[in-house]
Structure 1
Amino acid sequence: MPDLEQLARSALDSVYDPELDEPITDLGFVRSVAAVDGELTVHLRLPTSFCSPNFAYLMASDAKDVLTAVAGERRVVVQLDDHHDSDLINRGLAADAGYLGTFGSEAEKDLDELRLTFRRKAHTAAMERALTGLLRANPALPEEDLHDVTLGGLPAGRTTDALLRRRAALGLSVEPGEPVLVDEHGEPYPREEVPLRLRFARSIRISIDGNAHFCRGLLRTRYPGSETDQTTRPHDPSVSAVAGEEARAS
């Protein structure tokens, strides 16, 4: 039977940095997990002290939610360390004040819209990874024919699983007959727009992956030894090959 600290770390695997689209556990943002005397305490850290407060709060709040679900009757304490708004964020988390209650007049609106924006970006990047993989595996496949690719036509594996998770998070259908390349409402793009839409999706994916790589490096610089807490994202070889071609061409 896993102990509480193991359960807590497993639960934190489901908490994603909203901008980088990776689990905070893989990024090394979980500094410590301790279950002592009926209290579960988790310390989080970020690559810089000036990371966006709304991103920081969103990550810390999501962490508290998943930890509360596994902690039973134990008190859950989530602490964000070394951030310029740490005291404010930690007080808000302790009081379950929510984002608006924590930041007051500094918060223009709740975080639902921000969360939706990043979920859409993550979905766009996931579509690109899946479809670029198909292009690399089938060099003779015209980009326009990606219009006809359905979820059921994708190969089984991590890339497809990630796409299905991101569609589900947006409330989009995950039925096998659904087209892969769709807009934020699940509507397919016209065939003639596919190359343009794929290039746009690729730019978003490259931006997300580049930011994640940059933030990992910043964290290692800020917290020497934190590299042992980081897990490298498994790369789809076909996508990596495309990224290499783009880098050589730039």
Structure 2
Amino acid sequence: MTAVVTERDRVLDALGAVRDPELDEPITTLGFVSTCVVSAAGDAVVRLRLPTYFCAPNFAFLMVADAYDAVAALPHVRTVDVALEDHFAATQINAGVSARAGFVQTFAGEAAGELDELRRTFVRKSVLAGTDVVCRELVAVGIEPVGCVVGDVPATAALERLLRRRAELGLPAGPDAPLLVDVETGAPIGPGEAARHLGLARLTRTGIEANTGICRGMLRHRYAATGAGEEELG
């Protein structure tokens, strides 16, 4: 029997492409989407929540704006109502996103600039973390990652994810591209630089994983009564 895909399913799938910029995980799997309702007419209502009342407003703005864009891009959605709840800057963020204003306009007199470079900074960290995951998989099967090109690496989910992040930054991601590249320039990492690069990649991965665990725990604690992080979307 074929499962029926609803508009709500499509909206949730679109939200699954929205990532926490710091944790590099979908807001859906992190439990940040508390409500997702789509009417028969195509009116979508999404509510987001974060682990603490004082989560950084720049990170929060990125997630709310990205969620709005993801839902608005769906062909059968007529209206979009995406809002952040239980956050000290929710009123400003929600108003700015609804008006399609940028971060600077939303936080006039407070923001130093737009968030494009912040986003790129965290994608660079994701590339480093992903490099460590892929290299550890190679070492586990007896392949030395230093000197490898992408085409030498067995196809895995970790490699696919890493190449998507590299592509976001315009870094080389084809089969002939070096596996180890500078995340700023895309230049190959030579043998003499490899140990330092891989050490930084490992530290970046463990830092992201630790922050992810902390955020999941804080969210569960904050919304213990509703079982945050579980499948309890409205």
TM-score (norm 2): 0.92
Which amino acid counterpart does residue 51 of structure 2 have in structure 1?
P
**Structure 1 segments unaligned to the other structure (5+ residues):** 231-250
Matched residue SS, 1:178: coil
Which amino acid counterpart does residue 134 of structure 2 have in structure 1?
A
Query: C-alpha distance in 2, partners of 1:128/1:96?
Result: 37
Count of residue pairs the alignment pairs up: 225
Alignment match, 2:59: 55
1:27 aligns with 2:30: yes
Q: 1:195 to 1:206 in 2, by over 3 A?
A: same
Residue 154 of structure 1, CA deviation: 1.2
Alignment match, 2:139: 135
Alignment match, 2:89: 85
Residue 146 of structure 1, CA deviation: 2.7
**Contact conserved, 1:146 with 1:194, CA < 8 A, in 2?**
no
Alignment match, 1:5: 8
Which amino acid counterpart does residue 119 of structure 1 have in structure 2?
V
Which amino acid counterpart does residue 29 of structure 1 have in structure 2?
F
Query: C-alpha distance in 2, partners of 1:81/1:133?
Result: 39
Residue 101 of structure 1, CA deviation: 1.5
Alignment match, 2:129: 125
1:171 aligns with 2:173: no
Matched residue SS, 1:70: coil
- Which of 70, 73, 77 does residue 74 from structure 2 map onto? 70
Which amino acid counterpart does residue 161 of structure 2 have in structure 1?
A
Q: CA RMSD in A?
A: 1.5
Q: 1:46 to 1:160 in 2, by over 3 A?
A: same
Alignment match, 1:208: 208
1:159 aligns with 2:158: yes
**1:88-103 → structure 2 map (5 Å cutoff):** 88-103=92-107
Which amino acid counterpart does residue 187 of structure 1 have in structure 2?
A
Residue 229 of structure 1, CA deviation: 3.5
**1:185-204 → structure 2 map (5 Å cutoff):** 185-204=185-204
Residue 174 of structure 1, CA deviation: 1.7
In the TM superposition, structure 1's runs of 4+ consecutive aligned residues that sit over 6 Å from their partners are none
More helix as a share of residues: 1
- Which of 110, 129, 137 does residue 106 from structure 1 map onto? 110
Query: C-alpha distance in 2, partners of 1:188/1:173?
Result: 10
1:147 aligns with 2:146: yes
Residue 66 of structure 1, CA deviation: 0.6
Identity of aligned residues (%): 43
**Contact conserved, 1:60 with 1:80, CA < 8 A, in 2?**
yes
